[in-house]
Amino acid sequence: MKAFLRSDGVQAFLGWLLGTYLRIVLATVRWRHENAGCVEPVLADDAKGAIALFWHGRIPLCLATAPQWWRKRTKALISPSADGEFIARALAMSGFPAIRVSSAKPGDTAKMRQAVTAIREATQWVAGGGALVVTPDGPRGPNEVIAEGALQIARRSGQPVFLMGIAAAPAAQMASTWDQVMWAAPFGRGVVVWEGPLFVPADADAAAIAGLITDWSARLSAATRRAEALARA
């Protein structure tokens, strides 16, 4: 069954299905943006890069931010897993090509080398004025906890980070999935709450990075909860 789901034909179909749904949600939901002005200086300057974070469970709503990121050269950081493959295809349909990176377990030198190469590519992309969209708790969680990779890209590139809390109503939220994925109903209401710019100091050590992970995870979750409340209001 796994081999079937990972076949190119099935992945292409799932990517098309998700990509079509993403465009329907963008086109039919009445989207409202709070504090979107914070990202304008980056969008208006081709020399400035950016890293944009939203939670993995909001991937079905993520094209709500496309009108902003279409204004820059933008890529998405996506896992090379089977799930990541069709998500990458779906986002490519809307003009967001992928940089594929996986988290490596201790002792897995092959994956570690792949991860280092991908992080280097992502860092160069952002440092060169590109935008990078990341679900920092993906692909396996824990839910709503930022992984270190996005912060290391920000530290090495010196570019700002923006948090994006995304929600819609009415919507179905799947409590059975690790990321509690949210699926918006067409013709509803949606909200994106923006926060930033945030920076990781170039000299940040492991303790400083850990502190930022705790702080920024809480702030991104707070932005997401605010988006939920505004969408339901």
Q: What is the CATH number of the domain that holds 72?
A: 3.40.1130.10
| Distance in angstroms (rounded) separating the CA atoms of residues 150 and 147 | 7
Return the structure tokens found at 164: 């994006």
Return the structure tokens found at 221: 């979750």
DSSP 8-state symbol, 44: T
CA-based nearest residue to 122, from 96, 88, 146, 157: 157
What's the total number of domains in the chain? 1
In the block, tokens 């992502």 appear at: 122
Q: Which domain holds residue 199?
A: 2-232
Per-residue pLDDT of the chain (233 residues; tens, 9 = 90+): 556 556 778 899 999 999 999 999 999 999 999 999 999 999 999 999 999 999 999 999 999 999 999 999 999 999 877 678 899 999 999 999 999 876 555 555 666 677 788 899 999 999 999 999 999 998 888 999 999 999 999 999 999 999 999 999 999 999 999 999 999 999 999 999 999 999 999 999 999 999 999 999 999 999 999 999 999 99
Helix and strand counts by DSSP (H, E) for the chain: 8, 7
CA-based nearest residue to 50, from 32, 75, 87, 33: 75
Question: For the segment 5-28, what is each residue's pLDDT rounded down to a tens digit?
Answer: 567 788 999 999 999 999 999 999
